[in-house]
Amino acid sequence: MNTQFPQPHTGSYYAATANSKEEYPVLEGAEDCDVCIVGGGFTGISSALELTERGYKVVVVEANRVSWGASGRNGGQLIGGISGESKLHKAQGKDMSDLFWDMHWAGNEIVKSRVEKYKIDCDLKSGYIDVATRPRHIRELEEYCEELQKKQFPFETRMVTKEACVNELGTDHYLGGMVNMANGHLHPLNLCQGEATAAVEQGAKIFEQSPVIRIEHGNRPKVFTDKGYVESNFVILAGNAYHMLEKRYTGGVVFPAGSYIIATEPLSEELQKEIVPADMAVCEMNHVLNYYRLSADKRMLFGGRCNYSGRDPASIKDSMLPRMLEIYPQLKGLKIDYEWGGKIGIVINRVPHLGQISNNIYFAQGYSGHGVNVTHLVGQILADAISGTSERFDIFAKVKHHRIPGGRVVGNNLVALGMLYFRMLDLLP
């Protein structure tokens, strides 16, 4: 059993402004259901809601609190696309462009439709810009923008010059960028908790502070905690970076990488008009990147610096503040009200890791920083597979993943060397 559990939510801006104070009970005794889901983040909750909408009896078992991990701590950027998409195409051995295109945006559409259907208050707002720090980024964005326009993409997309970035973002730090209004930003903790509430209203049961200690395989697997167990027809493992179960099948592929965010005090009206006045989410095109946006109450939420060593910085504020001020010196002197970090699940080839341990135990992990969109797509894909339609699941399951021997300690050190390589790539013109 992992002794780090259970824990409360981290001291983030999101936890401080969460709409729901709902606490679900600890699992005690026996539960019986169609599908038992281990993990109460976006993958688990999204799968639970999708399955309950289809009439399945679902139980979710969470070690801490719903959306305790990356799902409730991330940058809140809703970005279409799937990490490692080129490798997914290559693994199929045939043209599946149309299916991939639909999946590219499916997660975004699921989020938007659920927010509307279940009246989830999560500050969802359209507006996003990729920003370039190297000339090659401009070329890549121009090609992508042209591709979207050729496909008659139904959302506004446009290139932004270096000069226009000053007006769009309030900084001359970038060479240009591309606006994509299909993407946007939101309060991730409120989204996940809102979806959990919707799932419960549809009939799901959620148990918190109930770390799973083992799984008994069989025709009807049993998922055991200290005080009880769940017997079900199917099991979904959805722990991602914090997952410690079934290492024979899931270990050595996903490594927990640190990412960190600071939140300023609310900006003055003058600064609001100057810094990201169109209220878009901003993301750099580097491998080692900065990402940021304004919160609903107009704080700067500034994040980045993936740390693949597994060790948190001594001070998140001291690590992140200089990077923010390099881009926005006009924010100097603002109070930093919140600082927090968390683990994101990184896969070496960047392709989400989906698979089966047996014919009734599924797993999904490793979104490599694209979690808000892709977890919702994956929740639908897992529900499809359990319902008997596995076309999209098989696309991911057939991808070969690299496993690094020696456990997470050795693995993280090797991944850190790999990220040094990516950092060097970032410096290329």
Q: What is the model's pTM? A: 0.92
Q: H helices then E strands: how many in the chain? A: 13, 19
Place of tokens 């009880």: 228
What six digits make up the tokens of 205? 């049961």
**Antiparallel, parallel or unpaired: β 157-161 and 212-216:** unpaired
Domains of the chain, residue spans: 128-182
Residue of 73, 46, 61 whose CA lies nearest to 241:
73
- What does each of the 429 residues of the chain score in pLDDT, given as a tens digit? 344 568 889 999 999 999 998 999 999 999 999 999 999 999 999 999 999 999 999 999 999 999 999 999 999 999 998 877 777 777 776 667 788 888 989 999 999 999 999 999 999 999 999 999 999 999 999 999 999 999 999 999 999 999 999 999 999 999 999 999 999 999 999 999 999 999 999 999 999 999 999 999 999 999 999 999 999 999 999 988 677 787 777 777 877 778 899 999 999 999 999 999 999 999 999 767 899 999 999 999 999 976 655 567 889 999 999 999 999 999 999 999 999 998 888 787 778 999 999 999 999 998 887 789 999 999 999 999 999 999 999 999 988 887 766 555 555 565 565 555 555 555 566
Report the run of H or E that residue 124 belongs to, with start and end.
none
CB neighbours of residue 238 within 10 Å: 29
Q: What is the full DSSP assignment across 203-270?
A: T-EEE-S--EEEEE-SSS-EEEESSEEEEEEEEEE--GGG--S-HHHHTTTEEEEEEEEEEESPPPHH
- SS3 per residue for 127-166: CEEEEECCHHHHHHHHHHHHHHHHCCCCCCEEEEEHHHHH
Note every long-range contact of 213-219, with CB atoms under 8 Å and residues 24 or more positions apart, other chains counting. Answer: 213/1, 214/245, 215/245, 215/246, 215/361, 217/357, 217/358, 217/361, 219/360
